Structure 1
Amino acid sequence: MLGYLVQHRLFGCCKIIRIDGRTVEVRLCDVGGRRLFSLQAFEGGDFKRTTLHAGALAICSHGQCSINALVDGDEAGPRHYRVIYEDGLGATVSEIELLPLPASLTDSLPARLLQGRTDPYALFSARHRLLVALARFNRQVGGLRALLASRIDLHPHQAFVAGTVILDPVRRYILADEVGLGKTIEAGIILHDLLSRRPDARVLVLTPGPLTRQWLCEMHSSFGGQAFKLADLHPIQSVDLSRWSKVICSTNFALDGLDEDLLAVPWDLVVVDEVHHLLNAPHLYEMVEQLSRSARDLLLLSAIPVRRRESELYRLLALLDPRTYAKDGTGEEAFLAIYEAQEPLGRRLNLLSHDLTDLESGEATNKDVIERLGRLLSLPILQEDEQLQALLAAAEAEPERAASLAREAHLTVSDRYRVNRRILRNRRERLISQDRLPAIIRMPTPLCYEPDQIEGEAVTAAEAMLAALAADTSLSRDVLRPFSRILLQALVDPIATLDVLVAVRDAKAATVNSYGREMLNAVVGLGGDRWTVQLHTACAGVKAHVDPRLLSAGLRLASNWRSSQSSSARWDAMVSLLRGEIAANRKTLVFAGFPGVAQRLATLLKDVFGEKSVTEFRSDLDDMTKEENVRRFRTESNVSIMVSDESGGEGRNFQFAHSLVHADLPWHLAVIEQRIGRLDRLGREAISNQVISHICVSAGAWESGLFACYHDGLDLFGTSVSGLEFALRHLQDEIVDAALTGGQDEMHDLVPRLQAIAAEERVRDDSEALLDEASYHAARAERFMHTPSPGIETALEAAFLDYFRVLAGGKGVSRHESADGAEGLWCLRPGNVRHGELTIVDKDAEGELRKRIGTFRRALAQRQRDAEFFTYGNPLFDAVVESLGHRLTGRTYAIVCQAAGAISFIGLEMIVAARPRLNASDISPSLLNLADAIFGARRRPLFVPLIQGQKVDGQQLATLRTSLSAKGEGPRWRDLSGDEVQQFVRRVDGDLSTCLNRAMEHDIPAARQVFARELAEPLASERKRIELQRRQLIEGGDAAGAAEADMLERYSALIDSWDIVLDGIGFLAVNIRG
C-alpha cells in the first residue's frame, strides 16, 4: 500500500507516503500539500485506487516523464506503466516510483475525451441546465446581479443609486440620500455586487458605534449571508486583519489603537457611514483621508450641506478625492466656480423643464423651448461647452427637434455641471411630490409630569453640581459637555443617577487627551460596547474639578431617592398612557436609552401588565433572544409593549409598532431621529401614515427646557433632521451650554435662535436642481427595477439542486421543514461533494463541512431571515457557480442513444462560447457587469461528424440531446466507457483526433463568424458609449477622471479582442448499432 496512487473524493490524485499504525500520510498531487488520514478513510470509501491516463506527467528518479500506457497491475499489487522521459527514452516504472504532477498541467477537455475520461452525461446535462437557468436569471437586469440578489424590495430611487454606482468603473461616491431613504441598503447592494464578483475582496465598513450591529445584521441577513467580523467584539490585541477580509469597525474602536493596523491593509472597498460627523473629529478625518488614498473604491454615506457651507462640502469631497480637492490647490478655485454657478444653473434648468412640460400640453412652442435653451447656455460656465452649443445650433436649424435636443442638453448639464458627479442625493420631499413615496406625518405628544419632592431634590442637586463645573474655566468644554449629557440623561432613574455619581466618586482624576476628547464627542447616544470606557473617561476628566460637597450631597439625595418606597411619578404617567394604548389594541415601542434603565422599566411594566404583555430588546441579550422577542412583539396580539435601550434604535425595523414612547430624553439630537426612524421607514404606510411620539418630560427640571429646544426650537419630533446634520454638533453644544449656564430659563430663551438656525439650514433653493436631476431619473431607474419572476426562480432552484445532487450524491440535498410550513427550504451539504472540493470563501471552524439551510425564493428569504438566500453573493452559491467555469468537471460526456425518426449520427458535440478577455482580479467589477450584459449567454453547440461529409441536422441533434432523461422517459441512451467509444470509432473507420483537428480548423472559425455578426451591434453601441464617457472624463481635467478614462480604454480593447472558448465536448452516437 505504501507508495500506491489513490483518488480522494475531494482532493483528487494522492500518493501514500507514510503509514504509522492506523494513521496514513498522503501527498496531495493535484492540489498540493500533505494530509493525515485514519486507515478507516481508506476502508470506508473516501479513497480508491487510481490509474494514470496516457499523457499524464510525473516525476521519478530519472526525472520528468509522461505516461505512455498501463502495463500491468491489479488491486493486490503495484501497477506498472510504460513511460517516456524528456530525452525520448522509455522505461517501465512502478507507481511506487512515480510522483504525479498536478493534472491541471496537461488536462483539457479534448484530452479527457481522447483518453476516455468523460463524465457521466447526467452531470454534463445538469451543468448545462444550470447554465441556461443562470443566463435567464441574469438577463432580467442586464448583468446587474446584485439587484436581484438582495432580500430587500427596492424603491426606484434606491435601485437607481445602486445601479448607477455598480455600473461605474470607479466606485467612489458620496451616497447622500436624506435620513430614512435607505443609504445603508444602497451601499449594501454595491458591496454585495463586489463580493459576488470577488468573494475574497477586502472590505472595511467604518461606522459610529451604535450602527455596527445594524451593519453586521444587514450584511448577513439581507445580502447573501456574508460573514463579516465585527472588530469591536474582540480584544484589540486579538484583531487579526491579515486573516479577516471583511471587517466592520466602529470609529471609536479605530481611535483606540486600531488605526495603524487599518491603514496598513490594501482594502478593495472602504465604506464610511455618517461621514459628516468626521468634520468635527480631526483624528478620524485624517484616518479616513489616508484610507481614501489607499483604497481602490470608497463609499461615503453622508448628509451633504446646503447652501452657504461650501467649506464643509469641499472637505467632504477631499475625502472622496484627496488629489483633486487638495488643501490650497487649484481644485479649490475650480470647485468654488462651479459651486457658485449651481443656483443660476438650477433656476434656468427648472424653467427649461417647465417649458418642455408646457410644450407637451400645447401651452408652449418650439420657439419658446429654443429661447429658453439659449438662455440656459448663455451662462458663462456653459458658453465654452462645444457639445451643448452644438445642441442649441441643431435646435435652431431644426425647430421640430427642439424638445429632444433640449432634453439631451438638460441631462448633459445636470450630469456634467453639478458640483461633483459622484454625489447622489435623493430628497424625501421631491420623491413625495413625484408620487414615488407616500407622506408620513410625525405627531409629537408631550407626557408631562410633576416629580415628587425626593426626586426633585436629587435632580436639583445633580444640576447644581453641573452648574458649578460650568463655572470652572479650567475644565475643557469638550469634557464637560459629554459628562453633562451622561448625568442629565441618568436623572430619569435613581439607580442610573447614583451609578454615575458613584463613578465620579471612584474615578481617578486624569487629563483627557485629544483622542479621548474626540472619542467622547463623537459618541452618538449612550450604551453599547464602549459604554464603560465612555463613562470612566468622562468621570476621570471632571473628577479634579468637582466640588466634593456638591458630590456628597448628590450621592446622599440620589441614595434617598433609590431607597424611597414611593412610586415614580414618571413611570406612573407612562403606565397610564400605556393602559390606553393597550385598550386601543395598539403596539407601543418604549425607548429607555440610559444603560440599565430599560431592564428595570421592563420589570416594572411586567408587574403591572403581566409577563406575557411586555417584551424587551437590549444590547446585553443574545441575538437569538432579541430576534425571538421581536417576533413575538410583531406577531402575537397579546404582546403590546416592547421596551428597548438605544440598541433598538440602530437601524432596526419596528414599523409595525403603532406608537413610540421616549421614556428618557437623550441630549444627543441624532438619537431622537434614530428612535423615530424605527417607525418612520420606507413601507410605514402599510401600518399607518402617522408616527406618534409620546415624550416623557419632567416639569421644572432642565429636561423641560430640553424638550422646548427640541420641539419648539428645532421641530425635532415633527420633522426629520435632514438639512440639520452639519449643524447638529453645534446645536447640541449650544443647548447643553445654555442648560449649564442658565438652566431651563436660558434654554427657553434659546428657542427663537434655534428656530432661525433650523429654518436657515433646512432652506432649499434652485441650487438643488442639478443634484436632484442627477440622483434619480425615472426612465433610467426602470432598468434597475426588474425582479425575477417566480417561474425563473423555481427554474433556477430546480437546475441548481439537480446539479448539486449529481455533485454531492443523494444525501447532498434534502428538503427542510419550514417553520410556517412553506415549501422552498433546502438543506445542502457541501462536504458531500465528490468531484473536487468547492472553493467556499467563508469557511466555518469545521472547514465548511456544515450543512447549509436556505432557499432560492426571494419571498421566502424575506420572511425567514435565519435561512440563507441561495443567490449571487451567497458563499455556497458563488462557489458552485464559480465551479461551472473554472473546473473541467461536468463538461464532457460520451453516450449512445436510439431515437425513432432521428437521422443517424456519430461524432462530436462541441459547446463553444464567446468570452471577453476580462479577468476579475485586474478590472473593475462594474466592467464585468457590463461585459456580462453583452457576452453572458452566448453559447452554441457545434455537431462535427466523425466522417467528413456526413449529413448533420444540428437543430435536431441539439433538441434530441437536451431531451434525454435519466428517468427512463424519451429516447433510450446510456453512457459509454473510453473503450466503448473507441469501438464505435473503429466500426466506422474514423479517428477522434482527426475529427477534433478538423473542428478546430474549420467549424470553430465558422462559429466565430456567427458570433461576430451577433456581437457587432452591441459592441458598436458599447464602444460609442465608452468613447462619449471617456471624452467627458478627459474634458473634466481631474486626475480621477483621467484614471477612469484609461480604464475604460483598456476595457474597450479587451471586449473587442474576445475569444472563442470550448465550454464542453461530448461523443454522441445516434441510431448507431454497437
Structure 2
Amino acid sequence: MSEFSPGQRWISDGEAELGLGTVLNCDFRTVTVLFSASQETRTYSVRQPPLTRVAFGSGDRIQSAEGWQMIVDDSKEIDGLIVYIGEDDQGQIHELPEARLADTMQFDQARDRLLTGQVDRNDWFDLRFRTLHHHHRIEQNPALGLAGPKIDLIPHQLYIADEVASRHAPRVLLADEVGLGKTIEAGLILHRLLLTGRAERALILVPDSLTHQWLVELLRRFALDVTLLDEHQSQAQAETNPFESGQLILASQQWLFANPHRQTQAQACDWDLLIVDEAHHLDWTPEHSGPGYACVERLAATTAGVLLLTATPEQMGMESHFARLRLLDPDRYQSLERFKTEEQGYVRVAEAIDALERLSGDNRSNSDDRDCIGAVIDDSDSQALLDTLLDSESGPPQRESAKAQLREQLLDRHGTGRVMFRNSRRHVGGFPERHLHLTTLELPSPYRRVLRRLARDEDYLDELLIETGLDHPEVILHLDTMYRALADDPLNAEPWWQFDPRVTWLLELLTDVGHDKVLVIAHHRDTAAGLAEGLRVLGGVHAPLFHEGMTLVERDRAAAAFADEEEGCQVMICSEIGSEGRNFQFCRHLVMFDLPLHPDQLEQRIGRLDRIGQQHAIELYIATFEDSPGARLLRWYDEGMDAFSAPHGVGSELYDAFGDVLADALLDTNGLDEIIEETRALFATKLAERDAGRNRLLELNACRHDRAEEVAQAIHELDDDPALPRYLDQALDIFGVDSQELGSDLMLLQPSPQMLDGLPGLVKGEEGFTATLLRSRALARDDVQRLSWEHPLLREMMGRILSGTMGNTALALLKHPAIPPGRVMVELVFRTYCPAPKRLHINRFLPPTAIRVLLDESGANLSDKVSFSGLSKNLQKVKKAVARDLIKTRHDRLRELLSVGETEAERELPSIVEAAQFRMRNSLNAELARLQALSRHNPAVREDELQALQDERTTLDTAIENTRLRLDAVRVIVTVDKDSR
C-alpha cells in the first residue's frame, strides 16, 4: 500500500495540523494531496515524501464524513483503496471506504508506535510535554509577534503594531515624523502577521538606495529571511516567475516601476501584504497617474493588506495626501473636494475633546464646553456618557470612567486613525535637543566674481541654468557647482576645494570634536566627491563617499566603514541621497556643507541623526558665506520657521506660499526681511491650525498609552519568563547544539557533530552565532542575536517536536518502596485538535491544549495525585531492547489502558471547548459591536472588514465546536524492585 492512488488517505508528517489528506492525482514525479479540513493543497515528490498512509486496524474507532462512528473489525482492499468493515454504536455492520473518512480525523501515531515497540528517550518525552505546555501559554499571550524582535519597547510603536496587526486585512498609512520608527512599525506588523498565520507572503517595495538597509533591518531586528530580487536574479529564473522564489520578496521601486514585464509577474502572484516605503514619491493627479503610482495601485487592488510609509504625507500638498489614502481605500476616497471638506470638520471634534478634558470638578457647569461636546455627539450611547459626566449625583470613579469612554468614542468615531497613524516628536517626547552652530566665512574671490556677474547680467543666469542643468533658484545656492560649470573660463582652472574656506573650516571642526563621528551632507555628488578629495589632499583625512553614482554594495560598504566604532572612519560625506531613509543614529554631529532649497529636505537631513533612541544632543554645523544666497536662505529657515530647533511639519506649505518670492530675494536682499516676517506669521497660523484640527486628532489617536502599556507589560512577562532558559538548555542538548557561556550574559551556540540538520543559523562545520536572552544586551550589539520564544531557532525546535513523532512514546522504570515491582502505569498526553485555516489564528482562543491522564494497572486515574514533574524526576531510563520486550508482554493490557485513558480525557474536552468559545465570542462580539457602531459615524471602517469579522466569528465557532482529542504522547512506566539495576 505504498503506491499512491487517487482517493487514498494520507497525513503530513511535518504538518499534522493539516488534518487527513486525500490524494487528488499523482504521476511518476509528484503527488498532490488535498487537506480539506484546513483548506490547503500540497504537492510532494513521490521520492520519500513526508507522508504517512492512514490505515486503521481491528479495534480502532473511526469516523465517517457524515459524522457517525464505528469500531473497525476487518478491512479489504479494492483498486488500491481500503474499505473498512465494522460495527457502529447501534450494533449495525457497515462498510466504510477510506475516501468517506472524516477530514477532521487524525492518525494516532503515538498509539501505533507504542504498540509496535517504537520508543524514544525519556528526556524527549519530557521535552515534548513541556513544549506543548509552553506553546499553549505563548500562543495566547497578547504580545505574540511583538515580543521577539530586537527593538526598544517604545509605546507608540507597540500601540500601532498591535492595533494594525489585529485587524483583518490592514490597510493603513504609517506617517510618523522622521526618526520615529516607521520601518520598525512595519516590521512588527509583518512579524506578527506571519507568526499568527494571518499572512504568509509579502511584497516589500522600497527606494533603490534603501534595499540593503531594509534587508539588514528585517534580518537583524526581526530574524526574517527575505529574498532581495533584482533583474540579475530574475533573469536567472527565466523559466519561472521570480516573484515566486520566496515568501517575503524585497524589491527596488525604481527597478519594478520601470519594467512592465516584471510588474505583470508581480501582479500574477498572491500576496497577503504589500509594503511601500517613501510612498510620497508616488506621483498622482486627478488627470494622470505616474508609473510608480499605477503599479502600486494595481498591486493594492488585489492584495488584502497594504502598508504605505511616509514621513511627509502632505509634502506635495493635500492632493498628494489624498492620493496615498486613495490607494488604501478607493471606494472611501473617491472625491478630492469631499475629502478637503471632511478635513475641515475635524476642528470641531478636536475642540470637543479638549473641552471634554476641561470638564471636571467645578468646570462641569461650563455651558460652552458642554455645547461644544454636544455639537459632535449624535448617538444615545455618547449622550448617556456625557449625562453621567455632568450628573452631580455621579461619584468620581463614575465620572472618570464616563470621560474616558466618551473620549475613546469621539476619537474612534470621528478621528482619522483608522487609516492613518502619525506621531510627532512633541507628542512622543524624549527627543534630544538640537544645537545650531553657525559660522560666517568670507566669500572667496572666484565665487564673488560669479555673483557679481549675476547681479549685472540678467542673461547670465539663463546661461548657468543651461550649463548646469539645474533649476532656479537652486543653481545660485551652490557656488561650487556654478564654478565647476564655468570650467572653460581660464580664471576657473583651480579646483574649487583649494580656495573654498569651508574645507579648512571642516578640517578644523574634525579636530575640535575629537574622535566623534561626523556626517557631512552636500547637495550634489560632485560636491561630495570634491570635498572628499580636498580633505584627503589638504588634511590627510580619509572620508568614504556615499552618493547616487555608487552601487548599493559600494554604498553599504561606505556606511559600514563609517559605523565601525573601533576601526571605522571619523567622517563620511554624502550627497542628498544620504538624507533619505538611512539611520546614522550612532552619530550626533551633522555638517550641512550647503543647504537644500526645500524645508522637508532640510528636515530629512537632520532626521538621519535625530531619531528616537538618540542618546545625545544633535550638533548642527553650517558655514555660510557673508551676504550670499545661502546666508539669506539660512535666515529664512531660522527666523521664518525655526527650522533647526525641531520638526514642525508645515515647511512644505510655507515653501508653497513663499518659494517664488524667496527665489528672487536670494539674489537681492530687498524684500527679504518682509518675506521672513510674513513667513513667521503664516508659520504661527499653520501651527495653530495643526493643533486644532486633523493633526491634533491624529496625535491623540496615534498612541493609546493604556493599551501600549498593556502590550509592553505582556512583552516584559515573556522577556522575564524563568521557564525560557530552562527550556532552552534542555532543547539545545536534545537537538545537539553546543552552548558555551562567554560571560556578560552572552553565549556561543555551535553545532555539534550530533546536531539534527536544518536548525536556523546553525550549519555543521560552521561557527554558529553569539546570542543572549537579554533585550538590552542584544540591542547594544548588532552581531548578537536575541533568543526568545519567537526566535526562529526556538520556533523550529518547538515546531519539530509538536508536528513530528519526537518523544511521543517512551518507557521508564520506577523504583518506589510503596509499589510492588512488575506493575504497569501509563502516562497519556492528549492534545486538542482543531483543524482550521491559518488565517483565523485559532490559537489565540484554543491553542493545542494538553490533557494528561495517569493510569495505574487497574485503570484508576492518578492524574490529580501525582504531578508530571514529581513523577519524571523519579524515573529511570531503560534500554530500548528491554523496553520493546516489556511492551510486548503487556500488549493487550496497554491497548485496554489506552482506551480507558481516552475515555478519561474526553470528560475534560467539553469544558475546554466551552471556555474557548466563551473567549472567542467575548472578543469578537465586542470588536464587531464596536466596529458596527463606528461604521455609522466613521466611513473609514470598510464594509468588507465588518463582513470578514462576522465570517471569522462563524467559522471559528464551527471549528472550535468540532474540536477533537488525539493521543499526542504516551509513556509506559514499569515498577521495579528497589535493588534492580
TM range (shorter): 0.7 to 0.9
Change in Cα spacing, 1:648 to 1:469, as seen in structure 2 (3 Å) is closer
Cα contact 1:130–1:796 (8 A) shared by 2: no
Match of 2:710 in 1: 783
Cα deviation, 1:596-640, whole Å, max 9, x if unaligned, reads 55455445445666669x6776766657854653454x457x975
**Given the alignment, which residue of 833, 857, 861 partners 2:756?**
833
Cα deviation, 1:14-33, whole Å, max 9, x if unaligned, reads xxxxxxxxxxx999999943
CA distance in 2: counterparts of 1:992 and 1:831, whole angstroms: 33
Deviating more after overlay: 446-455 vs 235-244: 235-244
Report the identity percentage.
21
Q: Secondary structure at the match of 1:382?
A: coil
Query: Does 2:441 align with 1:449?
Result: yes
**Given the alignment, which residue of 416, 430, 437 partners 1:438?**
430
Q: What residue ranges of structure 2 are gaps of 5+ in the alignment?
A: 4-12, 16-27, 34-42, 58-74, 83-104
Change in Cα spacing, 1:709 to 1:89, as seen in structure 2 (3 Å) is closer
**Given the alignment, which residue of 1024, 1029, 1034 partners 2:930?**
1029
Mapping of residues 178-257 of structure 1, within 5 Å: 178-198=177-197, 201-229=200-228, 231=230, 240-257=242-259
**Given the alignment, which residue of 799, 802, 826 partners 2:730?**
802
CA distance in 2: counterparts of 1:889 and 1:138, whole angstroms: 21
Query: Does 2:333 align with 1:404?
Result: no
Match of 1:1056 in 2: 957
| Pairwise CA distance, 1:149 | 1.3
Amino acid at match of 1:997: S
Cα contact 1:160–1:780 (8 A) shared by 2: yes
Cα contact 1:173–1:424 (8 A) shared by 2: yes
Match of 1:60 in 2: none
Match of 1:935 in 2: 846
CA distance in 1: counterparts of 2:53 and 2:910, whole angstroms: 39
Query: Does 2:644 align with 1:687?
Result: no
Deviating more after overlay: 343-352 vs 719-728: 719-728
| Pairwise CA distance, 1:222 | 1.5
Q: Secondary structure at the match of 2:970?
A: strand
Cα contact 1:112–1:118 (8 A) shared by 2: yes
| Pairwise CA distance, 1:305 | 6.6
Give RMSD over aligned pairs.
4.9
Amino acid at match of 1:862: L
Mapping of residues 176-575 of structure 1, within 5 Å: 176-198=175-197, 201-229=200-228, 231=230, 240-257=242-259, 258-278=262-282, 282-283=289-290, 284-303=292-311, 313-327=321-335, 333=338, 338-356=342-360, 359=361, 363-364=362-363, 368=365, 375-376=371-372, 378-379=374-375, 381-383=376-378, 385-392=379-386, 399-400=394-395, 401-419=398-416, 421-431=418-428, 437-438=429-430, 440-457=432-449, 470=462, 491-492=479-480, 498=484, 501=485, 553-556=486-489, 560-562=493-495, 566-575=498-507
Change in Cα spacing, 1:210 to 1:831, as seen in structure 2 (3 Å) is farther
Amino acid at match of 1:115: T
Cα contact 2:110–2:968 (8 A) shared by 1: yes
Cα contact 1:705–1:748 (8 A) shared by 2: no
| Pairwise CA distance, 1:457 | 4.6
Change in Cα spacing, 1:765 to 1:565, as seen in structure 2 (3 Å) is closer
Cα contact 1:449–1:569 (8 A) shared by 2: yes
Match of 2:645 in 1: 718
| Pairwise CA distance, 1:782 | 0.9
Q: Secondary structure at the match of 1:344?
A: helix
Match of 1:629 in 2: 561
Q: Secondary structure at the match of 1:561?
A: coil
Mapping of residues 127-206 of structure 1, within 5 Å: 127-134=128-135, 142-198=141-197, 201-206=200-205
Q: Secondary structure at the match of 2:936?
A: helix
Change in Cα spacing, 1:129 to 1:997, as seen in structure 2 (3 Å) is closer
Match of 2:827 in 1: 909
Match of 1:861 in 2: 778
Q: Secondary structure at the match of 1:319?
A: helix
CA distance in 2: counterparts of 1:462 and 1:654, whole angstroms: 38
Cα contact 1:231–1:249 (8 A) shared by 2: yes
Deviating more after overlay: 211-220 vs 774-783: 211-220
CA distance in 1: counterparts of 2:236 and 2:139, whole angstroms: 44
Give the count of matched residue pairs. Answer: 883
Cα contact 1:113–1:892 (8 A) shared by 2: yes
Change in Cα spacing, 1:611 to 1:348, as seen in structure 2 (3 Å) is closer
| Pairwise CA distance, 1:705 | 3.8
CA distance in 1: counterparts of 2:943 and 2:460, whole angstroms: 59
Change in Cα spacing, 1:172 to 1:52, as seen in structure 2 (3 Å) is closer
Amino acid at match of 2:112: A
CA distance in 2: counterparts of 1:135 and 1:346, whole angstroms: 43
Amino acid at match of 2:970: G
**Given the alignment, which residue of 937, 941, 959 partners 2:869?**
959
Amino acid at match of 2:256: A
CA distance in 2: counterparts of 1:671 and 1:831, whole angstroms: 56
Q: Secondary structure at the match of 1:148?
A: coil
Change in Cα spacing, 1:1067 to 1:647, as seen in structure 2 (3 Å) is same
Match of 1:580 in 2: 512
Cα contact 2:243–2:265 (8 A) shared by 1: yes
CA distance in 2: counterparts of 1:565 and 1:656, whole angstroms: 28
Amino acid at match of 1:560: A
Query: Does 2:975 align with 1:1071?
Result: yes
Match of 1:543 in 2: none
CA distance in 2: counterparts of 1:817 and 1:606, whole angstroms: 45
Match of 1:123 in 2: 124
CA distance in 2: counterparts of 1:608 and 1:480, whole angstroms: 27
Cα contact 1:916–1:1055 (8 A) shared by 2: no
Change in Cα spacing, 1:485 to 1:1070, as seen in structure 2 (3 Å) is farther
Amino acid at match of 1:405: A
Mapping of residues 973-1052 of structure 1, within 5 Å: 979-985=884-890, 990-1000=892-902, 1002-1012=903-913, 1014-1015=915-916, 1018-1019=919-920, 1021-1032=922-933, 1035=936, 1041-1052=942-953
Match of 1:677 in 2: 607
CA distance in 2: counterparts of 1:831 and 1:748, whole angstroms: 78
Match of 1:897 in 2: 814
Cα contact 2:199–2:273 (8 A) shared by 1: no
Cα contact 1:616–1:629 (8 A) shared by 2: no
Match of 2:6 in 1: none
Change in Cα spacing, 1:907 to 1:308, as seen in structure 2 (3 Å) is same
Match of 1:71 in 2: none
Q: Secondary structure at the match of 2:805?
A: coil
Cα deviation, 1:743-790, whole Å, max 9, x if unaligned, reads 776877754554455444443233244333322222211111134469
Change in Cα spacing, 1:382 to 1:148, as seen in structure 2 (3 Å) is same
Deviating more after overlay: 345-354 vs 1054-1063: 1054-1063
Cα contact 1:193–1:873 (8 A) shared by 2: no
CA distance in 2: counterparts of 1:1007 and 1:466, whole angstroms: 92
| Pairwise CA distance, 1:158 | 1.5
Amino acid at match of 2:143: L
CA distance in 2: counterparts of 1:942 and 1:852, whole angstroms: 40
| Pairwise CA distance, 1:192 | 1.8
| Pairwise CA distance, 1:936 | 4.1
Amino acid at match of 1:1051: E
| Pairwise CA distance, 1:412 | 0.9
Cα contact 2:851–2:905 (8 A) shared by 1: no
